[in-house]
């Protein structure tokens, strides 16, 4: 957007006029009294009836398949099997319902911490409070990027509102000094002072409680696992076809064959998938909340695991966001105090803008005697703020404060050596403002340097992100000199990107460390180009204009001082400044990924083993190696432990996670084949060595499937040896309880033919020994599956001509 002279046709060039007396507002005592009388400024969210939510857990592809199995079992007069499948449906539904309730409770807590803030005048001073604490009669100030916190009557200022959330119309609503703006509207331009007219359920549409939305979408991880499950069902379908053909050739009884075929398909169903995903994600969200990161979309936790490129803002994220005036350079006959006074006239404490506050903190004499008759707050598009000052002689002076290049372009004769003076101030990382004044033409009177030092921990956190395989690009609206100084200090690097190239070309690699002087729309271009190159992108932002980039990025991160609109668009919201929350999100996301990777490997291996055992057992051994009832009990035995994986103690991977399905299938097959051989050996030993009946041999095979299923969990949960990383207590206890319950059922003959106690104990012991043996050969495969290759850019499309590795200091 061009830096041009303001015109009288733009009504927002005069945003605040002191001609209207500023309302005094309420006292804290008056506000507290009204809040107690009328209640908080909030609307209780609509929530479906508990019975409807519970019944919703009994719908969906997985539930429908199991319910169809119940009907077929009843039609085939297998009442016990039908009851077991029905109990499995109820168990999964109830568990999903409970875990979803816990996740909803966690997200409700996070929404409370994401409460909209409001600037309110109480006891004669401006302060920031939760919008829920507003009461009618409060005097508030709204500016660009704010979500209107209540119904307001404007008394001073000019603003433009996006009321599409209320009206569905994209046309902005302009208010000039008066009018009503409704709760839920977004301030897209200007600022104004207003009085609260209605709160909570008394607002025009009562949308306050819905300002931050937490609707989740299906994540890449869930999509990948569901694709794997469909492939496993396809494998089972092939086995079913082979079994049916074989049964027809051998004239097997359909009454016996049909239930077996049905259970073979049911065995591949990921019964615990919905509850496991909900549990794993909610556990991750609560862990992040303790680290100061609020996940407004649970899918963002998984996306953070795959993030390999972070586009980070500078101010408040890498730096401390505590601006102070560090130097003043006057030009001509202007004194340092005059420069500060003029800058103060083009500032306003009501905006709570850090630059304005830093300037006002240094001077109490704005521009000398007189009064300000017009004020235009800082706009990222124009990169300046303006004031019109009328002195005692009724002379009106225009005062401009903003980016040096912008202000210089408005002046007729910028002082010689301006660029050198700006470069000298910015070389140490300072942010430089220029100040100009004039009646008919503008004269640049001086420069102000504002220091925002890097946070003490930024260097270490940037280094940690690099070690995690996440490349960091600083994206800032500051000048190149300031951005490069900070990037160099914290170890990001010093390759400066070509902004013109970014705007001109939509594709190409991104091999830079710093993008400076960017506009909010440039962030969206950067995200889209990075995604075209196959990157999983994280983007930080704080303004209303950052919302498109935050929404577009896989991991949109609203920083701690972000506007309400930015927080609504982001999937992660930081509650404290700095990069620490982003590092925590990466590590937590990768832990969740590792848990779900364990689930996936475990499910593939078990499906290979069970399906091939059942199918080949009938085709090769000409017998039912176990019964449909025992297969259903196996689903119970396996899925209880599978769900406990969502809380397992795991480490995070050292590089961005990527799903490689072919390697997953190969690793699972390597583990499943030995167990498949053990399964056939168990049937042969039970029948031919121990002399068990067919029914007891089938029970022994069931015990073997449970024991090897437990072993598989521990084999796939870590790439190293299984004894190097202890499991969570919940996982260990459920495994032990599972084996004990199965052993009791098998030896007492409950729901199955009995097997002697020594045979059961001997089988479980043998599986334990074989598990240790198999652990020695699985480690290399799992290390390949659980590590992801880093991505490198082949060329420097955005790097300026002449940039080299030696001069840029790029980290590898």
Query: What region does 266 belong to: left with phi over 0, alpha with psi -120 to 50, or beta?
Result: alpha
Residue 134: exposed, middle, or buried by beta-carbon count in 10 A (0-12, 13-18, 19+)? buried
CB atoms within 10 A of CB 743: 19
Contact 716, 601 (CB under 8 A): yes
Residues of the chain by 3-state class (helix, strand, coil), percent to 5? 50, 15, 35
DSSP characters over 499-541 = HHHHHH-S-S----SEE-S--HHHHHHHHHHHHHTT--EEEEE
Interacting residues of 47 by C-beta distance below 8 A, sequence separation 6+: none
**Taking the mean position of all CA atoms in its chain, how far away is CA 515?**
23
Distance separating alpha carbons of residues 346 and 344, to the nearest angstrom: 5
Question: 568 is written with which tokens?
Answer: 């609504």
The SS3 assignment for 425 reads helix
Residue 806: exposed, middle, or buried by beta-carbon count in 10 A (0-12, 13-18, 19+)? exposed
Catalytic residue positions? 313
Distance separating alpha carbons of residues 47 and 700, to the nearest angstrom: 48
Distance separating alpha carbons of residues 631 and 264, to the nearest angstrom: 8
Interacting residues of 495 by C-beta distance below 8 A, sequence separation 6+: 511, 512, 513, 514, 796, 799, 800, 803, 808, 809, 810
Residue 264 to residues 488, 629, 634, 669: CA-CA distances in angstroms?
61, 11, 12, 18
Beta strand 384-390 with 514-515 is: unpaired
Contact 755, 685 (CB under 8 A): no
Question: 724 is written with which tokens?
Answer: 């190097």
Go through 336-366 and write b for each residue having 16 or more CB atoms within 10 A of its CB, e for each that does not.
Answer: bebbbbbbbbbbbebbebbbbebbbebbeeb
Residue 637 host element (H or E): helix 628-644
Nearest CA to 709 out of 739, 753, 740 is that of 739
Interacting residues of 752 by C-beta distance below 8 A, sequence separation 6+: 627, 629, 630, 633, 695, 698, 699, 702, 745, 746
DSSP characters over 248-306 = HHHT--HHHHHHHHHHHHHTTS-TTHHHHHHHHHHHHHHHHHHTTEEESSTHHHHHHHH
Query: How many Cα atoms sit within 13 Å of 457 on the Cβ side?
Result: 12
**Taking the mean position of all CA atoms in its chain, how far away is CA 745?**
45
User: Computed from CA positions of residues 802, 806, 810, 812, in that sequence, does the dihedral angle turn out positive or negative?
Assistant: positive
Nearest CA to 768 out of 720, 699, 706 is that of 706
Interacting residues of 809 by C-beta distance below 8 A, sequence separation 6+: 488, 493, 494, 495, 513
Residue 769 host element (H or E): helix 757-785
User: Measured over all CA atoms, what is the biggest interatomic distance in the chain, rounded to whole angstroms?
Assistant: 115
Query: How many Cα atoms sit within 13 Å of 82 on the Cβ side?
Result: 11
Residue 605 host element (H or E): helix 580-620
Contact 593, 657 (CB under 8 A): yes
């Amino acid at each position: 957007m061009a830096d041009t002279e303001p015109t009288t046709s733009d009504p927002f060039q005069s945003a605040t006029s002191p001609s209207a007396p500023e309302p005094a507002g309420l006292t804290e005592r008056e506000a507290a009294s009204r809040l107690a009388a009328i209640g908080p400024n909030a609307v209780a969210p609509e929530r479906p009836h508990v019975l409807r939510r519970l019944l919703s857990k009994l719908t969906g592809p997985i539930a429908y398949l199991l319910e169809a199995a119940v009907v077929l079992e009843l039609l085939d007069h297998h009442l016990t099997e039908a009851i077991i499948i029905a109990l499995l449906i109820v168990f999964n539904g109830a568990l999903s319902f409970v875990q979803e309730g816990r996740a909803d409770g966690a997200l409700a807590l996070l929404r409370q911490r994401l409460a909209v803030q409001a600037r309110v005048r109480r006891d004669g001073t401006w302060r920031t409070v939760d919008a829920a604490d507003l009461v009618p009669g409060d005097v508030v100030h709204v500016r660009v990027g704010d979500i209107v916190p209540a119904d307001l009557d404007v008394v001073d200022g000019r603003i433009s509102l996006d009321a599409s959330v209320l009206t569905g119309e994209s046309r902005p609503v302009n208010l000039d000094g008066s009018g009503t703006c409704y709760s839920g509207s977004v301030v897209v331009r200007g600022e104004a002072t207003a009085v609260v007219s209605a709160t909570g359920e008394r607002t025009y549409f009562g949308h306050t409680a819905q300002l931050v939305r937490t609707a989740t979408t299906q994540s890449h991880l869930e999509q990948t696992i569901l694709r794997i499950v469909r492939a496993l069902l396809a494998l089972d379908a092939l086995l079913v076809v082979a079994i049916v053909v074989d049964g027809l050739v051998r004239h097997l009884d359909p009454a016996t064959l049909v239930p077996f075929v049905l259970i073979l398909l049911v065995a591949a169903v990921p019964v615990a998938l919905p509850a496991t995903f909900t549990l794993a994600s909610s556990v991750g969200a609560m862990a992040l909340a303790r680290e100061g990161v609020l996940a407004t979309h649970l899918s963002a936790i998984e996306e953070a695991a795959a993030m390999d490129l972070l586009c980070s803002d500078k101010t408040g994220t890498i730096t401390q966001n505590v601006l102070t005036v560090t130097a003043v350079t006057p030009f001509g006959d202007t004194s340092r105090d005059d420069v500060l006074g003029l800058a103060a006239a083009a500032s306003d404490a009501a905006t709570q803008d850090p630059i304005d506050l830093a300037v006002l903190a240094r001077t109490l004499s704005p521009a000398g005697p007189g009064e300000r008759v017009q004020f235009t707050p800082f706009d990222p598009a124009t990169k300046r703020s303006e004031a019109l000052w009328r002195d005692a002689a009724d002379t009106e002076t225009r005062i401009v404060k903003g980016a040096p290049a912008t202000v210089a372009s408005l002046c007729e004769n910028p002082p010689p050596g301006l660029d050198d003076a700006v470069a000298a101030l910015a070389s140490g990382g300072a942010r430089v403002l220029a100040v100009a004044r004039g009646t008919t033409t503008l004269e640049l009177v001086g420069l102000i340097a504002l220091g925002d030092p890097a946070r003490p921990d930024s260097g270490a956190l940037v280094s940690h992100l690099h070690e995690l395989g996440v490349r960091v690009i600083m994206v800032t609206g500051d000048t190149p000199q300031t951005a490069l100084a900070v990037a160099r200090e914290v170890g990001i690097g010093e390759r400066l990107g070509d902004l013109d190239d970014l705007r001109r070309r939509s594709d190409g690699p991104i091999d830079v460390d710093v993008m400076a002087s960017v506009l909010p729309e440039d962030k969206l271009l950067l995200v889209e180009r990075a995604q075209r190159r196959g990157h999983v992108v994280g983007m930080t932002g704080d303004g209303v204009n950052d919302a498109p980039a935050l929404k577009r990025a896989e991991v949109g991160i609203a920083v701690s001082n972000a506007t309400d609109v930015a927080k609504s668009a982001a999937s992660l919201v930081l509650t404290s400044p700095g990069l620490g929350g982003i590092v925590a999100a990466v590590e937590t996301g990768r832990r969740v990924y590792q848990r779900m990777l364990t689930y996936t490997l475990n499910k593939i291996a078990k499906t290979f083993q069970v399906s091939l055992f059942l199918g080949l057992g009938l085709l090769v051994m000409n017998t039912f190696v176990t019964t449909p009832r025992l297969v259903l009990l196996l689903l119970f035995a396996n899925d209880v432990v599978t769900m406990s994986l969502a809380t397992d103690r795991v480490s995070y991977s050292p590089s961005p996670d990527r799903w490689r399905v072919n390697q997953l299938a190969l690793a699972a097959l390597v583990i499943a084949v030995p167990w498949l051989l053990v399964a056939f050996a168990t049937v042969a030993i039970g029948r031919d060595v121990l002399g068990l009946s067919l029914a007891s041999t089938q029970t022994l095979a069931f015990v073997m499937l449970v024991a090897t299923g437990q072993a598989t969990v521990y084999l796939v949960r870590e790439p190293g040896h299984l004894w190097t990383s202890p499991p969570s207590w919940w996982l260990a206890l459920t495994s032990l309880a599972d084996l004990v319950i199965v052993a009791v059922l098998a030896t007492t003959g409950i729901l199955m033919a009995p097997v002697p106690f020594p045979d059961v104990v001997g089988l479980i012991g043998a599986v334990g020994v074989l598990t240790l043996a198999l652990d020695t050969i699985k480690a290399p495969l799992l290390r390949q599956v659980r590590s992801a290759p880093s991505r490198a850019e082949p060329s420097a499309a955005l790097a300026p001509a002449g940039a080299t590795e030696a001069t840029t200091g790029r980290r590898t």
